[in-house]
Each structure stands twice: as structure tokens, then as C-alpha cells.
A = this chain, B = another copy of it.
Amino acid sequence: MFENIIKNVHEKTPLVHCITNYVTVNDVANVLLACGGSPIMADDERDAVEITAICDALVINIGTLNERTIATMLKTGKRANELSHPVVLDPVGAGASALRTDTTFKLLKEVEFAVVRGNISEIKTISRGRGTTKGVDADVSDAVTDENLDEAISFVKELSGQIGSIVTVTGAIDIVADQSKAYIIRNGHPMMSRITGTGCMLTALIAAYCAANPHRHLEATAAAVCAFGLSGELAYDKLSKADGGTASFRTCLIDALSKLDANTLKGGMKIESR
């Protein structure tokens, strides 16, 4: 179902401009290279507006935001919109501080996002205009489970309609939806929450997949979520044979992504649509 999507990434080598936090930026760059894309980071306003023009997609990730980079995010996001590049938002910690929440809303108002990806607490913050979140992790009380899945799907579809972006909520169960269709994805492994940056990495992966598949953003996003979750499963398999810990898992995760092909993805996807 997603064979061509992953092939297009390998063939087109999308160049993804990231305005992203300095905590996980190296992993984000390596994930983009691992998936067959190419990264460039630029956060000075004069640099970023021009750099984004030679790229195929833009990631705006608000972790470690500051006054200077917020201005760059807004201006560069608008420029990417003019160029019809897909722009993907990762509202890291929205709900954890007024600056993060306000910046998220300002970005959503002034920039058109192809995809917004966050954990359920961040996405609920966007929906409610306020939120509770445990730092940059989701609040347990918000988690998407089999019990509240129908409700969660409706919520994500509705929000997608309101903000005009594909909405991706990641957690034990992932939901990728526009206002009319939702993919429910059950790939992934709990170890992914024991290393920093898996959310940031996935956001960048989504941008690469969308850039290489311009007319199929919903499917491209779902494919990226499957690919990353499956890489986590393959990483855990390898890790458990080698008696490794969390740092080895990080290495195995990016390794698995760098070796993932269309056939492995096809065989390993755990996805349904509603």
C-alpha cells in the first residue's frame, strides 16, 4: 500500500530544512539521512528564509525556542508556504508554558501546516487553547487507548478540519488523520520513550516523506509513522539479542531506519483506516 511512498523518498532525496531544538538536532539530521533524505539546519532569519527556498520541506520544532528563533520560524514558515513546500509543526511542550502555547497558536495562525505532529497532551492543548502536560511528555490521563479510541479518532478528525492540517497524535497507539479519514497505527515499542528525541525524529521523517510524495500527504505521513514504529520494533529485536541498554537502542533505531525498504515496511505495518 505504501511501496511507492518509501521508494519516492529514496529516489528524490528530499532536502529538509529544520528549525529545531538543539537537544535532538543531531539525531534529527541523522534520521533524515538514514531515511534517504538530506538535512539542513538554519535558524538565523536572514539565513533561514533564503535556505528554505532551496529545500523541499520545512520542519518547525519549538523545543528550546527563543525570541530570535520564534521570529525565524514565523518568517520562514510563510516563505515556505509561498513556495508550496510542505511545512510540518512539532509543538514540543505546548501546554507546558505560556510561551510555548502562545507560539504554537501564533504559528498555526500565520503559517499553513501540511502536518502537525505531537503527543496527545500537546494536541489537546491545541484543541483547547490550554493544556496540562508533564514537561515534554504526554500526561498519562490523556493517553489514547483501545477504550477511548473512537472518541480520540473523532477528536483528531475534527481538529484537523479546524486547523486545516493533517493531525498526527503519537503514543502507544498512533492516529494520523485529516477531517475525513484516519489511519490507526500500532507499530512501535515502549523503549522509544526511554530515549530523547523520538518525537522530533518522526516529525522530520514525516517532512521527508511528504516532500517526496507531494500529492499524498496523508498516506505519506501514515507511512512515516509506520516506518518509524517498525524501526523501533526491529531495533528492540536486535537489542534484546545483544543485551543492550537505552543508548544501544538509539543506535539500533536509526540503523533499522537506514536499512528499511518497501518490502519490510509492507510486511511489518500494523495499520488500519477508519
Give A contacts to B, CB under 8 Å: 15, 21-27, 29-30, 33-34, 38-44, 46-47, 50-51, 54-55, 63-68, 93, 96-100, 134-137, 194-197, 244-248, 250-259
Contact = CB atoms under 8 A, between A and B. Distances in A.
A135 B52 CA distance: 9
A244 B246 CA distance: 17
A44 B23 contact: no
Given A26-B23, A55-B135, A134-B38, A50 B99 contact: yes
A196 B26 contact: yes
Given A40-B135, A42-B93, 4 more contacts: A26-B196, A47-B97, A245-B259, A247-B255
A258 B209 CA distance: 32
A196 to B, nearest CB: 4
Given A135-B15, A135-B55, A245 B34 contact: yes
Contacts of A248: 251, 255
Given A245-B34, A254-B246, A65 B41 contact: no
A64 B69 CA distance: 12
Contacts of A34: 194, 245-247
A246 B259 CA distance: 8
A42 B30 contact: no
30 contacts: A15-B135, A21-B41, A26-B196, A33-B195, A33-B196, A34-B245, A34-B247, A38-B134, A38-B135, A38-B137, A40-B93, A41-B64, A42-B64, A42-B97, A46-B67, A46-B98, A47-B65, A47-B97, A50-B96, A50-B97, A50-B98, A54-B96, A54-B135, A244-B251, A245-B254, A245-B257, A246-B255, A247-B255, A247-B258, A248-B255
B246 A247 contact: no
A41 B54 contact: no
Contact of A195 (B30, B137, B253, B256): B30
Contacts of A65: 44, 47
A50 B63 CA distance: 14
